[in-house]
Amino acid sequence: MKGVPVRIEVGPRDLENGVVTVARRDDLENKTTINVDDLATAIPALLAEIQKNMLEKARAFRDAHIVITQDMNELTNAVNGGCFAKAMWCGDRACEDKVKELTSASTRVMPFDQTPVGTKCVCCGKNLLKEDGSTDGKVIYFAKAY
Ligand SMILES: [Zn+2]
């Protein structure tokens, strides 16, 4: 029964009363009874709500596991703790390779939002701050693959 989002229990007493018992995968504690006549509308609504809840849970989990890191020590601690290390990167392949060699974490994604999270490359420490206040590097996520 793993992976089943909604389990509908139909017992003799339920049928007598024109209802079924519904258990949600994301909330196994609370079972509800639904009138048989309402099933065609109640189940799709329930599935949409479960999808929304699971997505919110996954996003909250992801967001709680992003750590902004400024140097290799912080990056190492973050990825060893199972987190995503969000960092500035100079763009040099040598730094990307060195991070992988030292931590076994690799680059995961370069987000569209390039708002700087620091001024130096997390690996080589090169200053990425330009005179006009912008930065030369890239915001990037490092993490271990599992
Ligand atoms: Zn670098």
What pLDDT sits at residue 3?
76
Contacts with 128 (C-beta within 8 Å, 6 or more apart), sequence order: 88, 90, 116, 118, 119, 120, 121, 135, 136, 137
What pLDDT sits at residue 128?
95
Determine the straight-line distance between the first and last CA of the chain, rounded to whole angstroms.
26
Centre of ligand 1 to C-alpha 61, Å, is: 29
Centre of ligand 1 to C-alpha 17, Å, is: 69
Centre of ligand 1 to C-alpha 12, Å, is: 69
Superfamily of the domain at 66-144? C-terminal domain of ProRS (3.30.110.30)
Centre of ligand 1 to C-alpha 35, Å, is: 63
Residues of the chain with CATH 3.30.110.30: 66-144
Centre of ligand 1 to C-alpha 104, Å, is: 17
Centre of ligand 1 to C-alpha 38, Å, is: 60
Residues of the chain with pLDDT under 50: none
* pTM score, whole prediction: 0.74
